[in-house]
Amino acid sequence: MFIIQSYLLAVVFCFITMLCWGSWGNTQKLAGKTWRYELFYWDYVIGMVLFTLLLGFTMGSIGDQGRPFVQDLMQASGASVGWVILGGVIFNASNILLSASTSLAGMAVAFPLGCGLALVLGVINNYLEQSKGNPVLLALGVALIVVAIICNGMAAGRVSKQGNSGSNNKKGAILAIIAGLLMSTFYRFVIKGMDLDNFEQPTAGMLTPYSAIFIFSIGVLLSNFIFNTFVMRRPFVGEPVSYKEYFKGSLSTHLVGVLGGCIWCLGTAFSYIAAGKAGAAISYALGQGAPMIAAIWGVFIWKEFKGSDKKTNLLLGVMFLFFIVGLGVIVVSGGN
């Protein structure tokens, strides 16, 4: 299987993770013009599962290092599989809430609040699990990103007051916060089932990134029959939707959702692959720089802050600045 050998390449993979995690929401925005997010989410999960298989039989099966994808799956212990599936279930609950938040308040609000909170709490959880990197610099980088999150929340609050969708924005922000709390925990459970210290000769019974991301996606798919079915019947906004409506969707609409799942899955797989060299806390932290990417899409492409006053724009500018500096400090923390 493909294994990263240098910290620099691990950082590159983490930045790809950040781009993917911050960009998949665009597919929801595209599909959302004619498609409810509860229906979109089924295609998203299907895309995730399919892409894990593609990764497993390509990157996960090449080279002479580590265990090939199928062999790694066959030798996995029940405990390792259980930890990773639990991570998938927790992630799915959080991601459904994040999707709901995006549909209510937009990418520029949902991602910085939800993923930003997940970053802060998740870094602490993952560092306790695997203490890799300079803790002082890592804490400083996270603190800078906290400032960015606060600025984003203030900007979103000003937009709520100025516009006519204050109720939706408030509900969306609350859902984003709950999603962030849940999302901060899933990664730690996934890495419990992986041998991050030795991908070349992993411990018997434990998983490598390619088998872990596949099992993780199965956990997401299975839990989706419970979580998403419930949300379809009791949506956060709008009327209930049925499976009958899902099968009425056009091929192009379904493919947009599948693409979203593929984009997210690529980022997550690269995060797991990079964690072996960069450490779980740093890999997770850099990937969770996704709110900055999502905010860029929301502000400049989807015009979610169109017509904002100067103070709101200033807050957005400060948010971007602190996110960039904070991410830079996190990168440096792993090189010490």
Cα gap 26→39, rounded to integer Å: 15
Residue 235 has pLDDT above 70, yes or no: yes
Residue 273's pLDDT band (boundaries 50, 70, 90)? very high
Coil, strand or helix at 55: helix
Question: Quick check: helix, strand or coil at residue 280?
Answer: helix
Q: Which comes out higher in pLDDT, residue 55 or 122?
A: 55
Q: Is the pLDDT of residue 172 over 50?
A: yes
**pLDDT reported for residue 163:** 53
Token pair of 155, please? Answer: 């900007």
Q: Is 310 helix (H, G, I), strand (E, B) or coil?
A: helix
> How far apart are alpha carbons 180 and 291 in whole angstroms?
12
> Whole-angstrom Cα distance, residue 54 to residue 102?
28
Residue 331: per-residue pLDDT? 83
In whole angstroms, what is the distance from residue 210 CA to residue 269 CA?
A: 7
Cα 175 → chain centroid: 15
What is the mean predicted confidence (pLDDT) over 125-153?
83
Percent of the chain with pLDDT over 70: 95
- Rounded mean pLDDT of 28-56? 91
* Average pLDDT rounded to a whole number, residues 268-288: 86
- Secondary structure of 10-48 in HEC code, one letter for each residue: HHHHHHHHHHHHHHCHHHHHHHCCCCCHHHHHHHHHHHH
The pLDDT, as a whole number, for residue 128 is: 81
d(CA 69, CA 95): 26
Average pLDDT of every residue of the chain? 87
pTM: 0.84
- Cα 167 to Cα 148: distance, rounded to the nearest angstrom: 23
Per-residue model confidence as pLDDT tens digits over 47-101: 999 999 999 999 999 988 889 999 999 999 999 999 999 999 999 999 889 878 8
Of the listed ranges 43-47, 105-109, 278-282, the one predicted with least confidence: 105-109
Arithmetic mean of pLDDT, 274-294: 82
Phi, psi for residue 192 in degrees, rounded to 5: -65, -25
- In the block, tokens 């993917």 appear at 20
Non-local (6+) Cβ contacts of 25 within 8 A are 102, 107, 110, 111, 260, 294, 297
Q: DSSP string spanning 189-208?
A: HHHHTB-TT-SSSPPTT-B-
Eight-state DSSP code of residue 77: -
Contacts of 94 (CB under 8 A, 6+ apart): 114, 118, 178, 179, 180, 181, 182, 183, 186
Average pLDDT over residues 182-205: 91
Considering only residues 106 and 250, tell me which one the structure prediction assigns the higher pLDDT. 250
Q: What is the mean pLDDT of the segment spanning 197-203?
A: 90
What's the sign of the alpha-carbon dihedral 260, 94, 141, 304? positive
Question: Residue 237 — very low, low, confident or very high, per pLDDT cuts 50/70/90?
Answer: confident
pLDDT higher than 50, residue 164: no
